Amino acid sequence: MAENRYTFGDNTRASARLRRLAEVYESETRALLDRCPVHAPALAVDLGAGPGWSTRLVQSVLSPVRTVGLEASERYAEEARHNAPGAEFIVCDVTRSPLPVERPEVLFCRFLLTHLRDLHHVLGAWAAAAAPRARLLVHETERLEADHPTLRRYYELVGQLQRHYGQSLHVGESLGAAFNGTGWVIEERVHPLVEKPAAVMAELHLANLRTWRDDAFARAAFDAGELEHLDASLERIARGDEEAGIVRNTACQIQARRV
């Protein structure tokens, strides 16, 4: 399987963006966790835990006996140990078998599958590690829509960047098919429409742009002057100096059961 490349970084700026992302999407994520039929599992695993904000939410809502975050970045894992006390964090590649956990009853991921290739293989690897009848909870993006041209162009460019690396910005559109034959059966798939202030989304996107614009493909494929223009416009929107309305984010939330 080709190597997965995370283009959004693990530097200080990227970490701050993930903290803000966790704040912005906490209510939707909490609603997904609240619907999980397994409460107080012996082991819950947060896949792609980042600096631990999602792991802390899993702890809070599900009250697992043991909570483990799996994360590829040593830097993020170290931050997570401070941000989510009581949870364990292991540095590993969550796309490869075997996972360093045994028979979790709940597995959770948010905004992870969008960064991965070969989702069928990855979902199968997670099923192989899971306990019988374990639940997998997924929150991803199905569609991002905005009226402001800067935001629309940003989504076009980041989508192109992700496609270059075999990833999908709107991965939620194809997730149903990816589960076929993986050892999971989808028990719930919902598509909540999440509307966020454009200023809030521009804040997140600006931090991202300032990280991925240094990617080798981005430097070769995108016009540097256009990226400077996007940077300046996103900053104005984020500060509230330029009105941009809302961003309509159709999410994809899945609960699947191990069979």
Q: Determine the pLDDT at residue 89.
A: 99
Kind and range of the H or E run holding 45: strand 43-47
* Predicted pLDDT at 28: 98
Mean pLDDT of 222-245: 99
The full set of domain ranges for the chain reads: 12-145+168-196+250-258
Tell me the CATH number for domain 12-145+168-196+250-258. 3.40.50.150
Residues 213 and 194: their CA atoms lie apart, in Å, by 27
The pLDDT value recorded for residue 48 is: 99
CA-to-CA separations, 143 to 74, 163, 247, in angstroms, rounded:
31, 15, 10
pLDDT digits (tens, 9 = 90+) for 117-141: 999 999 999 999 999 999 999 999 9
pLDDT bracket for residue 177 (50, 70, 90): very high
pLDDT tens digits for range 42-77: 999 999 999 999 999 999 999 999 999 999 999 999
Q: What is the pLDDT of residue 2?
A: 64
Which of the two residues, 255 and 1, has the higher pLDDT score?
255
pTM for the predicted model, two decimal places:
0.96
Mean pLDDT of 215-236: 98
**3 state SS of 101:** coil
Counting Cβ atoms within 10 Å, is residue 22 exposed (0-12), middle (13-18) or buried (19+)? buried
